[in-house]
Structure 1
């Protein structure tokens, strides 16, 4: 499967009065065409910072200090303003965190669709814009008659689907979804993700799916990357990374939600708290919270290394053996 986007050694810093704080540190991964790649991890680990970097949406004090973002072999970080304008929405679009609150409350849904089409020269008349907008609403299972309603007249799940329709308006090749179901109940979450999955199959776009909830990724993603304190610590096939994780942090995330059947088991959380990125310790960043930590782990930071036997990448000196399975519903 050919690669759509390749991220190489990406670093993003925040400039503070006390110096630079590196929120994303030397992160590399790729997303294949017509596939779904998930990024999971605790709040503050750098997931959303990566998403913003891929579309160059950061503003000061954020700074992309190093790396490449190759979209179909073209480096997005070197685009000029006009290339960026064409790239956003047409090639890559984004469903933002708390997206259902991103709609303009004083403008109709039709006006907001029209604004997208006009900004990119996709229509020649208001009538053409309305027809395109109605088709997009039908795609996400919203009656076309709701086109002239205001955002407050929709439920949370419907507003979320409207935002997804807007993100797909120009038929992008990559859809970035940053915590798209955060404020929704579990039933609506499932409906939204199933709709995106069906649309991906129909239109052939790729998805970068970002969440802190590993359980949401079980059926949705092809590959998953686990973030911790600005670093990728594990990347593997979705089913593999959940059932037979290599990194102790991934193991802890997998044990943080219950199974749907079998005996009840006590869930054991990950001890400690995330690191202060402005004061990083030497060695492995997860060492103080890790149940497999040895003294050597605190002296030198592990690098992300491919494990051929497990067909995945892990940054750990003491990866978990296959016997340490996590029981996950699929």
Structure 2
């Protein structure tokens, strides 16, 4: 497979009264065609900042200061306004965080579909828009008769599926999903993700899936990147991230959710607090919270190194060799 989008040395800064804060620092990854790439990490680590950067949705005080975003070989950062308008939604669409609140509460679902089609000159009449919208609702298992209802008449899960249908309206090649299931219960979460996976198989688009829930991600993604304080600290396929995490932070995330069977055990979280980027002085950003920290960790920041035997990258001077608890592995069946 060839890469649909390549992110190279991406840096995003926020200009504050205290000075420049680098929220995304030299991040590189690629998403293959018809694949799902996950970004995991705690709140504030830069996941959503990357998502917004891919579609150039940032506004001041945010600034993309360095790097490249190559979509099918063309740098999105060099697009003019017209090229960017065509790129958004037609080539890359996004299911935003708290997507249920993205729908206009005073407009029917039909009108909001028409707004998408008309903005990109995809329909010649309102009737054609209605037919296309009905087909999209059927795809996400919503009766076409609901097309003329208002958002408040739908349940949370149905509104989420409506937003996904809108994101797929122009048949994009990349779907960005930023915490798309945060406000939903676990049963609806699984239904939504299963539907997205089926649609990916049917239409052949790629997905960037962003969440802080590693246990949810390993069932859905082909490859996963772990972020901490604006940096990628580990990248590997989903099975490796689950069974053999190498970075201590990844190990902590993997052991932060309970087992579904066996004896009850006390949960042990990651000690300490996230790094304050305004006070970062160099070295490994996870050093103060890491149980494997050595002197080199505090002096020089480790860079991502490739481990061919595991087909993954990790930024750590003391990578972990042990596997995760077998009970945790048995809880998550990674999609093939």
What is the TM-score when the length of structure 2 is the normalising length? Answer: 0.97
Cα distance in structure 2, aligned partners of 1:278 and 1:134? 49
SS at match of 1:165: helix
TM-fit CA distance, 1:150: 0.2
| Structure-2 change in CA distance of 1:251 and 1:279 (3 Å) | same
1:232 is the counterpart of 2:251: no
What is the aligned partner in structure 1 of residue 49 from structure 2?
A: 49
Deviations 1:21-75 (A, max 9, x none): 0000000000000000000000000000000000000000000000000000000
Q: How is 1:124-203 mapped onto 2 (pairs within 5 angstroms)? A: 124-203=124-203
Name 1:241's counterpart in structure 2. 241
SS at match of 2:60: coil
CA contact (8 A) 1:245 1:325 kept: no
Q: Residues 266-281 of structure 1: matches in 2 within 5 Å?
A: 266-281=266-281
Structure-1 residue corresponding to 2:283:
283
Task: Tell me which residue corresponds to 2:102.
Answer: 102
After TM superposition, give the deviation of residue 267 of structure 1 in Å: 1.8
SS in 1 for 2:232: strand
Question: What are the superposed Cα offsets for residues 164-205 of structure 1, whole Å, 9 maximum, x if unpaired?
Answer: 000000000000000000100000000000000000000000
Q: SS at the partner of 1:169?
A: coil
Residues in 1 aligned to 2:250 and 2:267: alpha-carbon distance in whole angstroms: 14
Q: How do 1:109-128 and structure 2 match up within 5 A?
A: 109-128=109-128
Q: Contact 1:109–1:151 at 8 Å: present in 2 too? A: yes
How far the C-alpha of 1:296 sits from its partner, in A, is 1.9
CA drift of 1:85 comes to 0.5
Question: Do the aligned partners of 2:242 and 2:324 also contact (CA within 8 Å) in 1?
Answer: no
The answer for the alignment partner of 1:38 in structure 2 is: 38
State the partner residue of 1:311: 311
State the distance in 2 between where 1:316 and 1:266 align: 27
Q: Distance in 1 between matches of 2:30 and 2:116?
A: 28
Question: Could you say what secondary structure the match of 2:265 adopts?
Answer: coil
- In structure 2, distance between residues paired with 1:82 and 1:192: 33
Secondary structure of 1:278's match?
helix
Unaligned runs of 5+ in 2: none
- Work out the number of aligned pairs and report it: 330
Contact 1:37/1:223, CA 8 A, preserved across alignment: yes
Where 2:257 maps in the other structure, the secondary structure is coil
Change (3 A) 1:30 1:220: same
Identify unmatched segments of 5+ residues in structure 1.
none
Kindly tell me: are residues 112 and 323 of structure 1, through their superposed partners in 2, closer, same or farther at Cα, counting changes over 3 Å? closer
**Partner Cα distance (2:200, 2:33) in 1:** 11
CA deviations over 1:215-271 (Å, ceiling 9, x no partner): 101210000000000000000000111111000000000000012223333221000
TM-score, normalised to structure 1, is: 0.98
Are the counterparts in 1 of residues 243 and 323 from structure 2 also a CA contact under 8 Å?
A: no
Q: Distance in 1 between matches of 2:212 and 2:166?
A: 24
Per-residue deviation, 1:324: 5.2
Contact between 1:244 and 1:325, CA under 8 Å: does it hold in 2?
A: no
In the alignment, the residues of structure 1 paired with residue 116 and residue 260 of structure 2 have an alpha-carbon distance, to the nearest angstrom, of: 43
Aligned twin of 1:251: 251
C-alpha displacement of 1:19: 1.3
Alignment partner of 1:68 is 2:59: no
Segments of 4+ in structure 1 off by > 6 A? none
SS where residue 277 of structure 2 aligns?
Answer: coil
**Structure 1, 317-326 or 133-142: larger mean CA deviation:** 317-326
C-alpha distance in 2 between matches for 1:293 and 1:234:
16
Cα gap change, 1:324 to 1:112, in 2 (>3 Å): closer
Instruction: Determine the structure 2 residue equivalent to 1:294.
Output: 294
1:265 partnered with 2:265 = yes
